[in-house]
Amino acid sequence: MATSTVSGVHMTTIRPCITSARKDFLLNTTSFTSLDCKEGSFTGLSSSSNISRQPLFKSLKAKPLKCQRVVTKAMSSANDNKPLPGLPVDLRGYASPCFSIFMSILMQSHIHFYFGHVFFISSGKCNNCAKSKRAFIAGIADDNGYGWAIAKSLAAAGAEILVGTWVPALNIFESSLRRGKFDESRVLPDGSLMEITKVYPMDAVFDSPEDVPEDIKTNKRYAGSSNWTVKELAECVKNDFGTIDILVHSLANGPEVTKPLLETSRYGYLAAISASSYSFISLLQNFLPIMNPGGATISLTYIASERVIPGYGGGMSSAKAALESDTQVLAFEAGRKHKVRVNTISAGPLRSRAAKAIGFIDMMIDYSSENAPLQRELTAEEVGNAAAFLASPLASAITGAVVYVDNGLNAMGVGVDSPVFADLDIPKSK
């Protein structure tokens, strides 16, 4: 995973609080302002990323106070006391009434970079403090797409994983899980395997049973499955688990994606919009009532929403544009009514099974590698890690955003690999 560069993980307990606000941000030394502890004690939970092999704290001098700060990395959901390497995000969850962001620290010195948030939790008893955040990822059917990578990153951060799989692909997906075909790709940074608590059948094209046409009801690929419309799906999750905290929309379909827009039929265009963008609205309509305040929803978009990508047709570019526009409106409505954040990730090209159906994914990956500011192939893990960040308290003020995870390709106005620029001294990665 992209976080494999993190060489070590440790939990440091510092009982004295740092009392001076004037300590400089020096190499490998972190400074904090003083805090007034008043009556009672507090526990500080800091989720920080240290990509240096040097210890985070070399020396600290402070007066003893009734405070405690704990510096930690991503934690395993299997063992709440054991730190694990990987994501600097902790989604094991803490009850919102006793959870608040106290301090954010950013320090950079040479190649040493620290980023952290300090969370202070009341020392009073909290019955919900051990509960993990619960995530529902809609649209996972194999182990090599962005949905799977997002599930792994969330699991690595301690979230409980629920999955919605397209009904015709359900049997193969569940069979592959049982037979261990995905075991290699289920490995988390601590060496354990990602656990999927439950897999639900779903077809996000249909909102309720009344919307399902007869030919789908009698289709052999849907035989043996039930409660797979969006409304029924949300009801099942509610009955099984009560609430969720994170909702991920990782699905899209355009039956005429290989056709230019001028050759796309009304059916193909509307089918792309229905499966790829309205499905996100439908999921929010039905899942928001069971989402905890402070929750997060994430969808996946593509640069074709705003730039011309020849070959990405059939109304899919229009569907992604609609999805991004809807993200802003839904962020306002879901934020005001439910205190839930709504963001979308504009991911670069990935050599996934679904993307190969377009027919030119290898070409797009090569183009990106030649023209993006970061000249390398994007990994699914990098998109997964961005999603974990957006779902975490670290992104508590981010909503209505399109977050680009594409090695910077979105910033380019021209293709610098063009022969037109042959005489220019354009820097290239070594």
173 backbone dihedrals φ, ψ, rounded to 5°: -65, -50
Best CA proximity match to 395, nearest among 91, 4, 77: 91
Is 277 a known active-site residue?
A: yes
Give the separation between CA 386 and CA 389, rounded to whole angstroms: 5
First and final CA of the chain: distance in angstroms? 22
247 backbone dihedrals φ, ψ, rounded to 5°: -125, 125
Give the separation between CA 328 and CA 323, rounded to whole angstroms: 9
Give the separation between CA 280 and CA 296, rounded to whole angstroms: 13
Alpha helices in 101-211 (DSSP H): 146-156, 167-178
Two tokens, residue 212? 């399902």
- Among residues 46, 153, 250, 277, the one annotated as catalytic is 277
Give the separation between CA 314 and CA 126, rounded to whole angstroms: 52
- Which residues are registered as beta bridge partners of 300? 345
Two tokens, residue 154? 């969330």
Beta strand extents in 244-290 (DSSP E only)? 244-249
- Among residues 299, 320, 346, 368, the one annotated as catalytic is 320
Two tokens, residue 382? 């990098």
Give the separation between CA 32 and CA 18, rounded to whole angstroms: 6
CB distance 246 to 133 below 8 Å: yes
CB distance 146 to 383 below 8 Å: yes
CB distance 100 to 85 below 8 Å: no
Query: Most distant CA pair in the chain: distance in Å?
Result: 74
Give the separation between CA 318 and CA 306, rounded to whole angstroms: 9
Give the separation between CA 344 and CA 358, rounded to whole angstroms: 22
164 backbone dihedrals φ, ψ, rounded to 5°: -110, 125
Give the separation between CA 408 and CA 348, rounded to whole angstroms: 9
Is 132 a known active-site residue?
A: no
Tell me the catalytic residues.
277, 320
